[in-house]
Amino acid sequence: MAFASDPLSRLPDELLEAIVIYLPPADTLCFGATCRRCNKATYEPLVWRRHCLQEWKHWESRHEIKDKIKLPPAQVKWRLLYEERRETDRHARSIFEALLESQQHRIKRLEQVARFGYDVKDLFLKQKNETPDDAHDVLARRYHATVILGQIHRKTALEKWNRLQLKQMVKLEEVLGAYDLFVLSGREGDLEDMSREFDRIAERIRATDPNFDHFSIRNKAVRVAKFLASEGLVGNPSEDDYHALRNNFISLALFESPHSSLPLQSVAIYCAVARRLGINAKPSNYPHHVHAVIEAPTEVDLNGKPRPPGEDIRPEDSAHIMHMDPWRSSSEVPRSFLAARLVQMGAPAQQHNHHLSPTSTMEVALRTGRNIMNSVQVARDRDRHRGTPRQPPFPDIESAWYSMLWAMLVLGNGTQSRMPRMRQVLPYLIEHFQAHFPEDLNLIEEIVLPMFEREREQQVLNHLITTSRVADAKMRTPIRRPTDRHGNKMGVAFTIGTHFQHKRYGYEGVVVSWDDRCGAEERWIEQMGVDELPRGREQPFYRVVADDKSIRYVAEENIAPSSAAPSEAILELAGRYFKRYDKATRKFISNIRDEYPDD
C-alpha cells in the first residue's frame, strides 16, 4: 500500500522519462532505485547515451564513438559504456593521486595513466584547468596533469607518423597536425578538433551557394581560396613575423587569433578543406614557397567539360592542372609564372615538373620539420637578446624542438641509408628527453630502441632505460641538513623552494636541491672559475630551475631571495617539485620531502 501511495507511482511513463532527462548520472541511479517504473525509465538507452556524450568529449578510437552515435540508441549498450568510462576515470584518478604523493614510481604511474589514452583526456583537462588556486597541491596537480596530456598527445602523433612511414592511409592534415600535438599543452586543437573545424568550414563554403556542388572544379578551387582569405584562415597579416614559431602549426592558424601561418600550413589548410568539397588538391614541392596543385578528376576537366577516355595529361595543360597560392592570393597562379620564377632561381629545366607537381605527404612532413628547426633557432636568438619573458611563450620552444627531433628520427626510416641520419639525431633526442620529457621513457623503449636493433646504439639505449627504471623505483635517500655537535642546523642558508633572482645574471629561479659544498666535477669547477669566487668551492651550491627551463648549479653567494611574486613561467615549471606557492613565507611548498625531509 505504501508503494501505491507513492506520488511517483501515479505519474505517467512519459513524465517519468521527462524527469530522467534532467537528472545528472548519480541522481539518475538514485531515481531508478525508488521504484520499478522509475528503474525502467532510467534504463532507456537514450538516457545513458546523453550521459556519455555530455560527460566525455574525447574517446579512444576503439570505441568507434562516431559510428555508435549514428546507430539507433537501442543498438548500443550505452549504460555499460558509461560504466566502463566511469571506472576508467576512477582507476586513473587513483593512480594520479598516488603519483602526486611520492617521487617513487612516478614515471611508472604516469605511463599507466597515459596508457588509457584519450579515455582520460577529459579527466586531466579538468585537473589542469579546474583545480582551484587554493588547492593544497595546485601546482603539482596542474603540472602532472599537463605532463600526462602531453604524453597522450605525443604518442598519438608518433602513431600517425608511423602510419605514414608504413605507407598506410593517413591524411595530410593529420601528419602535419602531429607536430601540433607536441605543443598543445591542453589547448584546443588536437586532430579531432581540427577535423571538426575543417568539416565546419567546408559546410560553410558549400552553404554560400546552393549550386556549389554543380560548379566546375576550377570555380570551386577559387571559391575555397576566397572564403579562407575572407575568414583570415590563410596567409600572414604581418610578414615581419614570417619565421615566428607559431606559423608552423595548423591548429594555431585555425583556433588562435590573429590567424597566421607559413605558406606550407596555408596550403595544407586549403587542401584539407578542398578535399572535403570534392577537389583533388595537394601541396607542391616548389622551392621556398609551397603552392597547391589541383588536378581534374578522370571524368571531366577543370572547367567541367567531359574528358575522352584514356586521354594523356600533359603537366602544362591548364585544363587539367591548375595552381593556387592561398597564402598570397585567391586567384589562380599561371604555370608559366611559376616556371619563370624557377628559371630566375636557377632551377634546372629538367626539375621544373618535379617542383610544379604534387609532392608526397612524407616530403611535406619533413619540410615542416626543417621549417620548425629554423623557427626555433630564430626564437632562441631573439630570446638571447630580449631575455626570458615572465609569461611562458606559446608555442613552447622546447616542445617544438622535441617534435622536430622525433620527426627527423622517425620519418624516412626504413632503409639502411637512413641509419647515419638516425645516429646523428639520436643524441639530441635523448638529451632533450632527459632534460625536459623524462616521462617519455616508454616512448624511447617502445619506439626508439627497436629502430636500433642489432646496432651499436642498442646497448647504450638498453642501459639508459634500465637505469631510469631502477631510479624511478628506488626510494629516495633522505638528505639531512648539516648540524653542529649540539644538533643545531648550520651551513646551508636556503631551503628547497626558495624563490630567488640570480645576483649576477638576473634570471629568476627556484631551489630544487642543495649540496653543502660544490659537488661538481673538477673540470666543471675549473671551467666555471668556482675557486675564484669569494667563498670558493667550500660554500653550499644549489641546483635550481631557471625561468628558461634550464637546470643550473649556483653558488650560495649568487642567490638573492626574491620578494616579488613568481612569474607564470616559474609557476608552470614549479609543479614538478612543489605543491604550491606560499605567499606568506614567499616560498614554494616542497613535494619532494621524501628526499629533503628538513626542508
**Model pLDDT, residue 46:** 81
pLDDT band at 479 (very low <50, low <70, confident <90, very high): confident
Phi-psi category of residue 445: left, alpha or beta, with phi > 0 → left and psi -120 to 50 → alpha: alpha
Q: What angle do CA 263, 374, 347 make, to 5 degrees?
A: 60
Q: Do residue 326 and residue 221 come from a single domain?
A: yes
Tens digits of residue pLDDT in 84-129 = 999 999 999 999 999 999 999 999 999 999 999 999 999 999 999 9
Q: Do residue 341 and residue 305 come from a single domain?
A: yes
Pull the grid cell for residue 88: 576508467
Please state the rounded mean pLDDT for residues 18-38: 64
Q: Do residue 73 and residue 207 come from a single domain?
A: no
Distance CA 476, CA 543 (A): 17
Q: Are 149 and 121 in contact (CB under 8 A)?
A: yes
Residue 428 lies in a domain: yes
If you write DSSP's letter for every residue of 465-498 in order, what string do you get?
A: HHHHHHHHHSPPPP-PPPB-TTS-B-S----TTB
Q: Are 228 and 326 in contact (CB under 8 A)?
A: yes
Residue 380 lies in a domain: no
Q: Do residue 184 and residue 149 come from a single domain?
A: no
* CATH number of the domain residue 576 falls in: 2.30.30
Residues 6+ apart with CB under 8 A from 400: 179, 182, 183, 245, 248, 372, 375, 376
Q: Are 553 and 543 in contact (CB under 8 A)?
A: yes
Tens digits of residue pLDDT in 487-544 = 555 689 999 999 999 999 999 999 999 999 999 999 999 999 999 999 999 999 999 9
**What residue numbers bound the domain in which 58 lies?**
44-170
Residue 29 lies in a domain: no
Residue 224 lies in a domain: yes
Residue 251 lies in a domain: yes
The total of structural domains in the chain comes to 4
Residue 17 lies in a domain: no
Q: Do residue 184 and residue 209 come from a single domain?
A: yes
Tens digits of residue pLDDT in 161-172 = 999 999 999 999
Q: Which residue has the cell 587542401?
A: 271
Q: Do residue 194 and residue 161 come from a single domain?
A: no
Pull the grid cell for residue 130: 579546474
The segment with the largest mean pLDDT, out of 186-195, 232-241, 285-294, is: 285-294
Q: Do residue 229 and residue 322 come from a single domain?
A: yes
